[in-house]
Every structure is written in structure tokens, then in C-alpha cells.
Amino acid sequence: MLIYNPKDWWKLIFYFHKADTFRKLLPAMMGVMAYTFFISYLENNVFHFVPLKNPLAIHSLVGFVLSLLLVFRTNSSYDRWWEGRKIWGSFTNNSRNLALKLSAILPDKHESKEVFRILVGNYLLAVKDYLRGHVNLEHLDYVGNYNEAFYANYKHIPNRIGQAIHLEISRLYKVGIINAEQLIILNGELVSFTDNLGACERIRNTPIPSSYNIFIKKMIFLYVFTMPFGFVLEFKFWAAPIVTLIFYAFAGIEMIAEEIEDPFGTDSNDLALDTIVKNVKNNLSEIFKN
């Protein structure tokens, strides 16, 4: 995730990073500009089209409708991004709450504190990698019976780690270290882990409907590539930079919406999951240090 100062206008205006829409759209923008120059040349030097009374009226109306569609598209994508951030905020809070409760319940220097520190940290790390497509077992820490063999032959590693947390708590209950009342107190955080994972999977596995996505791209294409026929009558060769700027605005908004609709990746505008997981693991180490 790109960290920036929103008040530093000049730096942001002239800053271009690897995911910047201007950089990605530059080849297409050059093509639109060349296309508009070609139409302008034909109109001004070859065909001399009959001037229309209001050449920009139709595109003004269509542009208004297209703007509404893009606003809805961007809002839908941002809702997914913000919901993902809230879910990971819940992951953070529930991990801390579980650690604080276990730290208070378990005796000082008890071996299970280290087990829970590793398991809860592994769970968030595995969820992050799972949402990005693959969990690398080499990134996990192993403790006691929860070693590499424990996770072998399992496709859904976060569920396996969640099972390990439940197994460890159940073991402590059976030997009398945790009583029934304390087990109920811990249950809320345990349930929330699976609920949050399911919510993340819902966002990741349910993209914006394809028909809606394709329709907006078709409308942008038709809008931009018919625009020169009206604009050259009004602005002559100046239509080329004007049409290119309008294309950049519409296509840039669509590209931003595409990028943020899946907030769990590694793009500049995706959630800083690596930082969140690192911070939670540091919190766990501090809570369980006694």
C-alpha cells in the first residue's frame, strides 16, 4: 500500500509510481490523440463536413450518464476495499483480545502462551497468503505438535491453523487449566476468526458482475471514439488534446475501480496486509512475554 501525505499537493501531482493510471494509459492516450488528429485532418483538409448546429449536445448527455455509471462503479469498488479494511481491523482486535484473555487465564511462564503466540500469528499470516492465492508453509513458525507434518496434505491452511487453536484450547480445558466459564469467554474471538475469513473470501471470490463491467468499457470506447466527429467541428486540431484528456479521466476512473475492488493483493492501492500482520505479531509477542 502506498503511504503518502494527502496535503502535499505538488508532490502528488507530479509523482508517478508503477501503478499510476497515467503511466498505464499513456500508450492508449497516444493512440486516441493520433486517431483524433487523423479525424481532424480529414475534416479540415479533405471532406469538410457540413457543420452541425450543436455538435457537442449528444456527447454532453451521454457523458452525464456515463459519469453516473462510473460514480456507481467506483463507489461499489471502494465499498469492497473499505469492508476489507474493516474485516482486517476486526482480525487485529480479536487477535489482541484473545491474547489478552489467554495471558490473564494461563499461569505465568506457561508453555501454552508460546504456542498461542505462534498459532495466532500463523493464522493471520496464512489468511493473508491464502487471499493472495497461495500459502507457503515455509513462512509459518512451528511449535510442539503443530509442525510441518501437521499442515501437510491440507489445501485450506487457515482452517487447519484454526483447528490447531481449538485443539490447544480444548486440551487445556480437559486438563483443568481452563474452566467452562473461561471457555465461553474465549469462544467469541475464536468464532470471529472464521467469520472474518469467510467475509474476506466473499469479497475475493465475488467480483463485480461481468456484464456491468463490460458495458462500462464498451460505453467508454464508443463515447471516446465517436467524440472527435463532433469536437473537430468546434475545436479543429485542438480536439486531439481535449479528447485525450477526457479519455484519460474516464478510463483512469475505471482502472482505479478495477484495482481497489480486490483489496487483498499487492498493488499500491491494496491494503497493507503485510504491515498489519507484522504489527499483530509484535503485539502478540509483547502480550505473551510473561
What's the pLDDT tens digit per position in 72-100? 888 989 999 999 999 999 999 999 999 99
Q: Judge whether residue 120 has pLDDT over 60.
A: yes
**CA–CA gap between residue 9 and residue 6 (Å, rounded):** 7
pTM: predicted TM-score of the whole model, two decimal places: 0.83
Q: Identify the pLDDT of residue 231.
A: 77
Residue 9 CB coordination number (10 Å): 9
CB atoms within 10 A of CB 255: 15
Q: Which region among 55-69, 71-85, 102-116 has the lowest average model confidence (pLDDT)? A: 55-69
Query: So what's the pLDDT on residue 5?
Result: 55
Least confident range of 45-54, 138-147, 187-196, 214-223: 45-54
- Whole-number pLDDT of residue 172: 92
Lowest-confidence segment of 20-34, 78-92, 125-139 by average pLDDT: 20-34
Name the pLDDT band for 139 (thresholds 50, 70, 90): confident
Which is more confidently placed, 271 or 48? Answer: 271
Residues 133-144 have a mean pLDDT of 87
Mean pLDDT of 125-134: 92
- Provide, rounded to the nearest whole percent, the portion of the chain with pLDDT above 70: 89
Mean pLDDT, rounded, for 101-109: 89
Mean pLDDT of 117-129: 94
